[in-house]
Amino acid sequence: MMPFNLMASYNNIDSKIANIYELFYNKVEKKYTNDKWLDFLIELDKAINSIQKNKKLSTSSYEKIFDLEKLNNQKIFELEFKNIQKIWQEKINTNDLFKSFPNKSYNKHILSLENWIWYSYDYKKSYYFNNNDKVSYNDLIKNWINPETDLIIYWENWISFVNEFSKFKIVTDDIIYWLPNKLEVINFLKKSNRHLRKDIDSDLKKIKDISTSINSNQTKHNEIIKNTYAYILENVSYSNNFNLDDYEIYSWVETFNNKNWVCEWYVELFSLMLAFNWIKSEIIKWDVIDANDFPNIGHAWVKIDKYYYDITFDDPIWNTEAKKLEEYEYYKLPKDLFYTNRYDFWNTPDDLKSTSINYRKKLINENLTSLVFKYKDSNYNLLKPIIFKKENSIDTNKIIEVSDILKIYDYYRFEDYKIYFENEIKEVQSLSYTLLEDNSINTLLKERNYDLSKYTILEWINNWKKEYIIINDITYR
């Protein structure tokens, strides 16, 4: 690993703060065992984050806290990675024979740092023995394993031997130095470059520059998260026209350049841009039960602190314009509300996978309804359709129809360019309107924040058929 000190290419930090931190760390190292000082630094990291989020700091104070956070990020990463290396090295070296292999990976992530560049190995086939301790030289020969050229890695609960492998560059370390969640960042950059096989440093620097420039005047975490979320919604469009065998969809590099994404790369770009602003996030993947492709294709979203964000759901395929903050439905939600339609990891009940989408939507409605009272004053857009139904005595499991709207709001007859209000008649010069139809009324309600009290609804006869319209704009004679 890189020594923990200031080098020429890593000099964007206050040297006094770095020296103070080094002295502090040396004292901690002497006092605690390896595991405990890692825990101690993680607690320190939480305290630093708390200071940033909850205290009003001057610019100079913020920069000092900021430098301290960066130093602590790197030290936590180094200790975590060192511990992983140590554990896997011990497992591989239980058999003295394995020590003779020059090509070894001492971590389950198959990562190596050489001359400040991160690399990994790619392979298709591997061989392993059921009992590593009893493997002999003859066993290696019998199975065509060459200690001089083959790669040895520890994977899950066994040691694997690989004779066909390739090494590829992931990223230059100085681009991601100091980042929070650095190990996770390296791993998803590795996953992308395994398919793309190109130097991603220049693309990564572009994202780093954009990430910091759109937040150049911000120090508060909430504002940085909001700016980053909005940037992606405004500059990237979701695509459902993709081939799972196309390697480009697995590369955030290509999708960033093309401004066209699937859900996994929305959240990885979001997390990466947050990391460049020193904000930690966690990518979570599994099932959204009201998705049309459930359970065959999973989904991905982001957790930051105790809140959840689903940027893909706020940028659906049919959206031509980016949503505004007040329109977001899946932005900064508490867990119980966010998880009304999804499950983590292996938690999705098997019997749910064979049910109809209508059944699952009904279940989600029930989940949302159960939370209305808890969050009735929180103004979450996700709950507004349920609140609207309850306030207007509509069954929460029922799809809202035009007939429901006509029971709630007054409407007036429109005939021969005249509106017949209760106490007067007005002649219309021009008007723009939206036709009220059962298949679009729910979208219209959402667009108007579930409040039609400021709009005029008219009844007219069109081609011998009674229709209802809502006025968007009107001029009277």
The whole-angstrom separation of Cα 126 and Cα 152 is: 9
What are 180-193's pLDDT values in tens digits?
989 989 988 888 77
CATH code for the structural domain at 200-370:
3.10.620
Locate 348 and state its tokens.
């999705």
Chain position carrying tokens 């659906």: 316
Residues paired with 471 in a beta bridge: 433
The whole-angstrom separation of Cα 376 and Cα 384 is: 9
| Nearest CA among 80, 71, 22, 14 for reference residue 48 | 71
Residue 30 reports pLDDT greater than 60:
yes
Q: What is the mean pLDDT of the chain?
A: 84
HSE, side-chain direction, 13 A CA sphere, residue 441: 17
The residue that leads in pLDDT, 249 or 179, is 179
Task: Quickly count: other Cβ atoms within 10 Å of residue 80's Cβ.
Answer: 15
What are 63-84's pLDDT values in tens digits?
888 888 889 899 989 888 888 8
Rounded to the nearest 5 percent, the helix, strand and coil shares of the chain are 45, 20, 35
Do residues 95 and 154 touch, judged by C-beta distance below 8 A? Answer: no
| Whole-number pLDDT of residue 7 | 42
Q: Report the predicted TM-score, pTM, of the whole model to 2 decimal places.
A: 0.83
The whole-angstrom separation of Cα 12 and Cα 14 is: 7
Q: Minimum mean pLDDT among 44-48, 244-248, 377-381: which range?
A: 244-248
The whole-angstrom separation of Cα 447 and Cα 467 is: 21
CA angle 441, 423, 409 (to 5 degrees): 20
The whole-angstrom separation of Cα 150 and Cα 162 is: 6
Residue 338 reports pLDDT greater than 70:
yes
Element (H, E) at 286: strand 282-288
Residue 250 reports pLDDT greater than 60:
no
Helix, strand, or coil (residue 421) = coil
Residue 200 reports pLDDT greater than 70:
yes
The whole-angstrom separation of Cα 468 and Cα 410 is: 12
Q: What is the largest CA-CA distance in the chain?
A: 102
Locate 363 and state its tokens.
């279940």
Confidence of residue 261 (pLDDT cuts 50, 70, 90): low
Positions of CATH 3.10.620 in the chain? 200-370
Residue 198 reports pLDDT greater than 70:
yes
CA dihedral of residues 86, 87, 88, 93 (deg, nearest 10): 80
Contacts of 79 (CB under 8 A, 6+ apart): 34, 37, 38, 41
What are 220-232's pLDDT values in tens digits?
888 999 999 999 8
| Nearest CA among 421, 403, 408 for reference residue 450 | 408
Q: Sign of the C-alpha dihedral, residues 335, 340, 345, 349?
A: positive
The whole-angstrom separation of Cα 468 and Cα 49 is: 54
Alpha helix locations (H) across 352-447?
357-369, 384-391, 402-408, 441-447
- Provide the residue type at 338 as one letter: F
The whole-angstrom separation of Cα 136 and Cα 282 is: 43
The whole-angstrom separation of Cα 444 and Cα 390 is: 18
Helix, strand, or coil (residue 176) = helix
- Tally: H helices and E strands in the chain: 15, 18
Residue 312 reports pLDDT greater than 80:
yes
The whole-angstrom separation of Cα 36 and Cα 48 is: 18
| Whole-number pLDDT of residue 263 | 52
Q: Where are the beta strands (DSSP E) in 390-449?
A: 412-415, 418-420, 425-435
Confidence of residue 246 (pLDDT cuts 50, 70, 90): low
